[in-house]
Structure 1
Amino acid sequence: MRTYLDFEKPIADLEARLEETKKLAQTSNVDVSEAVNVLEQSIDKLRREIFQNLTRWQRVQLSRHPDRPYTLDYISLMCDQFIELHGDRTVRDDPAMVGGFCELGRAGEPGQTVMIIGQQKGRNTKQRQYRNFGMPNPEGYRKALRLMKLAEKFNKPIVTLIDTPGAFPGLEAEERGQGEAIARNLKEMFMLTVPVICIVIGEGASGGALGIAIGDKVFMLENTWYSVISPENCSTILWRSWDFKEQAAEAMKLTARDMQMNKLVDEIVEEPLGGAHNDHQAMANHLKEVILNAIEQLNAIDPQERINQRIDKFCEMGVVLE
């Protein structure tokens, strides 16, 4: 059963009427084709009106939609083959961070082998507990770095899919060096000699996101957010309450459009009308095309020049000239 967010309720009402009308046609001899056509046009028009005027908080809600595709969904829809690799070779395997070699290709063309890495959330309570709600421990970031170094060894591009409410903040994570693991990833990712493409597919919160987000190309899906803190936590700090999360989201300017205007990401990847959760396959097909185009562009650049451009891009962020 499809889940509707609060601002989608008018669409839900019309779609319920559409289903009732179609059921009527099945149980009687009444011709309802004209009514069905009118309702479908009304739904399409209403959806366009709503999604063209979303607030920042509504985009945050969409980034967390329970039906939204996660990292493993994109991998299964985009990749012809995927070999998952496990463990950081120090502590354990972290299910909140997944990765491995996969093959991306257009129809009728040879596939491109890439190392794909991303945070993974869960669909139900059991999966969420297993995946730690998409919040990696230090071993998750160390596993990600191990896989990146493996990709560099075999000269394969790296693709990271970012979707996390933040790195796990537990005491045991700090004891095992959460901050050091993320900091090391930042340093090492700057110096990778292979193309690195980073894509925010859902939530991009704090250092937990940044730990796999240093790339030659950084993309954001249309209905995602990327910031040092979530609107709820920002509201809690400033107003001592979660009740002002909508005002916090507006003030933080955390959407894909805001990030592009501030030159913190390179491009926005459009989603199907109604959000990525409305059509997983269409979203995956479009994202695969974006990735393949980016790899072609980056392969044409000398590795050392790529590294220099990567460093310059991030060093220019936040610089103000008076």
Structure 2
Amino acid sequence: MEYLEFELPIKELEDQLQKCMVIGEESEVDVTETCQKIEEKLADTKKDIYKNLTAWQRVQLSRHPNRPYTLDYINALCGDSFLELHGDRTVKDDKAMIGGLGKIGDQSFMLIGQQKGYNTKTRQYRNFGMANPEGYRKALRLMKSAEKFGLPIVTFVDTPGAYPGIEAEERGQGEAIARNILEMSRLKVPVIVVIIGEGASGGALGIGVGDKVLMLENTWYSVISPESCSSILWRSWEYKEQAAEALKLTASDMKRQKLIDEIIKEPLGGAHRDRDKTFTTVKNKIISHFEELKKLSPKELVKQRMDKYSNMGVYNG
């Protein structure tokens, strides 16, 4: 398990507990009481650290290398029923954006999301979760197929942003994202969006328009990353912590501003600390929201979704 800088006190106590248990196993000394005291202190330390997380610390947790990615969620939720579909039928198959058909329980869904890599090789293969225009066009192709066959859609958002390269701009990155936003707003099937990690800028919005937008507790959603914001405003990345606070990008900030519908609670320490519990919670939330949305007619779905986004940012002075 890898530890972030603010988690080092937890690491020290876990190391002490491990050594204490080893001493007890290798000798005849009774260390039960000592281990119990360390466990109690460890539990208190975890509570103190994780209940007082800053915005920047939540950003760090959302990027934790052990945190589950889109394919982890899909495999856990759908098992062997997932069938990945490839290509945008124009340029190529974007490996940073994955999608396909799968069953959650007895219900078929179209599942789409950004996929990051686990090591240097797979991160390059997945382009660090930054999709090109063909990735967004593939996502839209799959969404329109889902609409054609009356299948609900689930998207998993986890990207540091859409790919900013020259070739992406040449192939119409801005138009592809704008097209997705337009088309998603009027899809005639239920759309559930789950932010599982980073939700940065248009890269997130390209698959982020839905009837229900859910955020895991230790994720962020913003027009720009704290580092980029810091580099623009202060000409340095040193002020990323202040930028994270000012951007109001945490799940609680988003819920307070009515930009998302629900916060999904994570296990203590983050989604990576208890993956199975996280997967079960996400699965239950998707099913419960779908059960609510399937009662609406296509016309009601579109109207409700349009009204929801039209009301965002309205200010009555």
**Equivalent residue, structure 1, for 2:73:** 74
Q: Distance in 1 between matches of 2:32 and 2:148?
A: 60
Tell me, yes or no, if structure 1 residue 135 matches structure 2 residue 134. no
| One-letter identity of the residue aligned with 1:197 | I
Question: 1:116, 1:43 → 2: CA distance?
Answer: 39
Q: CA deviation at 1:31?
A: 2.4
Structure 1 residue 277 corresponds to structure 2 residue 257: no
Deviation at 1:144, TM superposition (A): 0.4
Spell out structure 1 runs of 4+ moving beyond 3 A: none
Q: Does the alignment pair 1:235 with 2:230? A: yes
Query: For the residues of structure 2 that align with 1:313 and 1:155, how far apart are their CA atoms?
Result: 22
State the AA in 2 paired with 1:314.
Y
Alpha-carbon distance in structure 1 between the residues aligned to 2:298 and 2:69: 31
Aligned position for 1:5:
4
Q: Distance in 2 between matches of 1:193 and 1:98?
A: 22
Residue 107 (structure 2) pairs with residue 83 (structure 1):
no
**Equivalent residue for 2:253?**
258
TM-score normalised by the chain length of structure 1: 0.97
In the other structure, the counterpart of 2:192 is: 197
Q: What residue is the counterpart of 1:122 in the other structure?
A: 117
Question: What CA deviation, in whole Å up to 9, does each residue of 1:151-175 have, x standing for no partner?
Answer: 1111111000000000000000011
- Give the distance between the partners of 1:146 and 1:299, measured in 2 at CA: 22
Cα drift, residue 51 of structure 1: 0.6
In structure 1, give the amino acid aligned to 2:224.
I
> Counterpart of 2:110 in structure 1: which amino acid?
M
Task: Give the match for residue 316 of structure 1.
Answer: 311
Amino acid at match of 2:104: L
**3-state SS, counterpart of residue 269 of structure 2:** coil
Q: Which of 301, 307, 310 in structure 1 is aligned with 2:302?
A: 307
Q: How does 1:13-32 map to 2 (within 5 A)?
A: 13-32=12-31
Name the structure 1 match of 2:52: 53
What's 1:108 paired with?
A: none
The alpha carbon displacement at 1:26 in A equals 2.2
Q: Confirm whether residue 170 of structure 1 aligns to residue 165 of structure 2.
A: yes
Deviations 1:208-247 (A, max 9, x none): 0000001000011000000000000000010000000001
Counterpart of 1:251, as a letter, is A
Distance 1:29 1:96 in 2: 55
1:47-74 per-residue CA deviation (whole Å, 9 max, x = no partner) reads: 1111110000100110101110000111
- In the TM superposition, 1:141-180 aligns within 5 A as 141-180=136-175
Q: Which residue of 1 aligns with 2:100?
A: 100
Q: Which runs of 5+ in 1 are unaligned?
A: 106-110
Alpha-carbon distance in 2 for matches of 1:253, 1:16: 35
Post-superposition offset of 1:319: 1.3
Structure 2: distance between partners of 1:268 and 1:8: 23
After alignment, is 26-35 or 253-262 more displaced? Answer: 26-35
Once the two structures are superposed, residues 108-155 of structure 1 have per-residue CA deviations (whole angstroms, 9 ceiling, x without a partner) of xxx111111000001100010000000000010001001111111111
Structure 2, unpaired ranges of 5+:
none
- Name the SS of the counterpart of 2:93 in structure 1: coil
The alignment's TM-score, normalised by the length of structure 2, stands at: 0.98
CA distance in 1, matches of 2:7, 2:264: 22
- The separation in 2 between residues aligned to 1:263 and 1:236, in whole angstroms, is 28
Of all paired residues, the percent bearing the same amino acid is 63
Aligned residue for 1:240, secondary structure, equals coil
Give the Cα separation in 1 of the matches to 2:33 and 2:294. Answer: 53
Shift of 1:303: 1.4
Query: Letter of the aligned partner of 1:101 in structure 2?
Result: L
| Aligned mate of 1:211, from 197, 206, 215 | 206
Secondary structure in 2 matching 1:34 = helix
Q: Displacement of 1:44 after TM fit?
A: 1.5
Measured after TM superposition, the shift of residue 34 of structure 1 is 2.4
How many residues of Structure 1 are paired with residues of Structure 2 in the alignment? Answer: 316
The CA RMSD measured in Å over matched residues stands at: 0.8
Post-superposition shift, 1:191? 1.0
Q: Give the Å deviation of 1:202.
A: 0.4
Residues 241-283 of structure 1 deviation map (CA, whole Å, 9 limit, x = unaligned) = 0000001111111000000000100110000011101011110
Give distance in 2, aligned partners of 1:97 and 1:32. 51
- The one-letter code of the counterpart of 2:89 is R
Corresponding residue SS for 2:192 = strand
Alignment-mate amino acid for residue 63 of structure 1: S
